[in-house]
Structure 1
Amino acid sequence: MPSRHPVRSLATPRYGSGVDALGSLLDGPRAHGAFVLRAMLDPPWSLRVRDGAALTVLAITRGRAWLVPDDAGPVRLDAGDIAVLSGPDPYTVACEPGLEPTVVIEPGGHSTTTTGDDLCGTWSTGLRTWGTGTAAGDAMLIGSYDVRGEVGGRLLAALPPRLALESDDSHTPLVSLLETEIDRADPGQEVVLDRLLDLLLVSVLRTWFASPGRDAPGWVRAHADPVVGRALRLLHDEPALPWTVSALATRVGVSRAALARRFTELVGEPPMTYLTGWRLALAADLLRDPGVTLDTIARRVGYGSAFALSTAFKRAYGVSPGRYRLTRPA
């Protein structure tokens, strides 16, 4: 595949927006200069993907493909199906399971043969289009994210290594829009592709989380609860407020004991423990901006001082905020 700069997450926390707990997590991955590509391949074909991407969206637009993880059985994807893969583990995508890969996809979308010969130039067939396929072959759209930041990490932790929506469940016009926009070279085109990829990812994940029988984390399932769901929205929307269980219970109209019991039962941890994790995840994201002081971050996420935030942060992450900032790129 043609080499492109990887996606970077712009997960700056936004408060006062009234988003729910799932919305707060889905607001984390934000493409910027996305790796978006159309692959067209005539069978037989088999790709070994070891690009290390944190999230990859794979939409089959014609024909079919088999997703072959190293640690699970193959998954068939037909036209209209969409898969989301959580990295960084390698996997194979092929026209049939069991085919030996002949192409390797490296970080940044760089493609080679299994012996190391470059394919980026020889297999480029047009703007953001790659492969050896004809109009009768298999075709798919690929978008990759490098999700940085602890808010993005919370989303990744909530996802299985791979998920797939069949065409009946993934009915969305976004795939067609993305395929149309891939061919265009208008001013601002990269931004259009970024936003379409974001919308497609959010649409797929929202549908997947809402589907019956999914092993979604407790906070996702709790969103539908009239009491705990409202409490989660308040914590996500206003993390800087001096919350106590009593104050939160008053806002949602139940007793302190009832809220604590119900919240812990559905989410899997007490309200203040959950809030601490959310505040520190937001702080970790803010630390990636070198222009924001630790005092400012502390106030924005609900800590009274930089010292208080530093103590909590080091307890959770094992390093001081300053050290974390130095070791995490902006």
Structure 2
Amino acid sequence: MDALTALANGLNLRARLVHAGGVCGKWLMDHNSDQSIWFHLLTKGQGWVHSPAWETPLALEDGDLVLFLPHAAWHFLSYSRDHLPVDPAGMRATSWKDGESAFVCGEIELGMPKSLLWQALPAEIVIRKAEAGEILARLIELIAGESSSRRFGSESVIERLCDSLFVLVVRHCIEANLVQQGVFAAMQDRRLATVLELIHREPWKPWTIAELCSRAGLSKTVLSGKFAALIGASPIEYLTSWRMQIAARWLKESGMSIERVAERCGYDSAPAFSKAFKRSLGVSPGTYRRGANVE
């Protein structure tokens, strides 16, 4: 198992399909969130993204994929380069066949959207069809094909395909050198990747800096220096942050008690876990579970 796989398994990020089909008329999409990743795959026709991130509206063509992380600038998708409707009243959702343009749009909710993990990724990620690479391009084709066929279970199939989409997008960002800082950049260092894989795979273990150094074949000074330079935290600080990331996910699962989450995160008691959780997220585990917004 590698560090990215262990991270993906730990977070178990799931896509929620919002739209898979056509649009007609003077359409407008306003999908902004400071808690979620939004993705838009254009499967037919064309569209434009209006955002301060680009000097002029960004043109999207068939097969292009755009993602917006929680720290992205406020943006809209529109039928026109020059016209931005004031509301979506002129938009008509249609079947893929009848649409002037067609999209697969979805959302991936994050437990700690303002953590350093996500802040290190580009706020806006655009992957052109020609730049996707073989595996990502195949997945995009599968999603587009399923959205146009509308067979039994299509929405479920599309959502599961989109679960894999985000992992491939992160890999694309790493391999295309779009990330220079943060955890995903650190994964490109073989020995740092060893430490990250251990932390991601077994966060409940009482890792010490000495054991992590031994497993990575690095001195404490070198390991701590590399973590500080790339991730902005010590290995043990990152371990705590990672525990809180997965705790946030587990707290949303039905039947998962705070005591059980504390145990799975490596804490000896629920009070010790609750204290660490509140220090990291600003709210208690119980308040978070009830749906409080997290900074």
Q: What TM-score range do you get, normalising by the shorter chain?
A: 0.7 to 0.9
Deviation at 1:284, TM superposition (A): 1.8
Matched-pair contact (CA < 8 Å) for 1:221–1:266: yes
Higher-Rg member (1/2) = 1
CA separation of 1:323/1:58 partners in 2, compared to 1, >3 Å: closer, same or farther?
closer
Equivalent in the alignment of 1:125: 94
Structure number with higher helix proportion: 2
**Mapped partners of 1:246, 1:143: distance in 2:** 45
**Mapped partners of 2:110, 2:228: distance in 1:** 29
Q: Give the match's secondary structure for 1:289.
A: coil
**Mapped partners of 1:71, 1:165: distance in 2:** 15
Deviation at 1:225, TM superposition (A): 1.0
Correspondence list, 1:12-91, <5 A: 18-21=1-4, 24-25=7-8, 28-32=12-16, 34-41=17-24, 45=26, 47-50=28-31, 52=33, 54-70=36-52, 72-73=54-55, 74-87=57-70, 90-91=74-75
Deviation at 1:79, TM superposition (A): 3.1
Deviation at 1:151, TM superposition (A): 7.4
Matched-pair contact (CA < 8 Å) for 2:22–2:103: yes
Deviation at 1:61, TM superposition (A): 3.6
**Mapped partners of 2:86, 2:113: distance in 1:** 36
Deviation at 1:40, TM superposition (A): 4.6
Equivalent in the alignment of 1:107: none
Equivalent in the alignment of 1:3: none
Equivalent in the alignment of 1:288: 252
Q: How many residues align?
A: 286
**Mapped partners of 1:61, 1:186: distance in 2:** 17
CA separation of 1:201/1:37 partners in 2, compared to 1, >3 Å: closer, same or farther?
same
Matched-pair contact (CA < 8 Å) for 2:24–2:93: no
1:86-135 CA distance string (max 9 Å, x none): 3586523235422132651xxxxxxx23xxxxx5xxx3433xx38752xx
Deviation at 1:265, TM superposition (A): 2.5
Deviation at 1:148, TM superposition (A): 4.2
Equivalent in the alignment of 1:9: none
The one of 81, 90, 95 equivalent to 1:97 is 81
1:278-316 CA distance string (max 9 Å, x none): 111211221122422222211211111112111211222
- State TM-score, norm by structure 2: 0.83
CA separation of 1:220/1:323 partners in 2, compared to 1, >3 Å: closer, same or farther?
same
Asked if residue 319 in structure 1 is aligned to residue 288 in structure 2, the reply is no
Q: How large is the RMSD of aligned CA atoms in angstroms?
A: 3.0
Q: Give the match's secondary structure for 2:126.
A: strand
Q: Gaps (5+ residues) in structure 2?
A: none
**Mapped partners of 1:131, 1:159: distance in 2:** 36
**Mapped partners of 1:258, 1:154: distance in 2:** 21
1:187-239 CA distance string (max 9 Å, x none): 44332111122223332332123213x24432111111121111111111111
Matched-pair contact (CA < 8 Å) for 2:117–2:182: no
Matched-pair contact (CA < 8 Å) for 2:4–2:197: yes
Equivalent in the alignment of 2:176: 211
Between 285-294 and 183-192, the greater mean CA deviation after superposition: 183-192
**Mapped partners of 2:103, 2:187: distance in 1:** 32
**Mapped partners of 1:62, 1:130: distance in 2:** 9
Matched-pair contact (CA < 8 Å) for 1:288–1:328: no
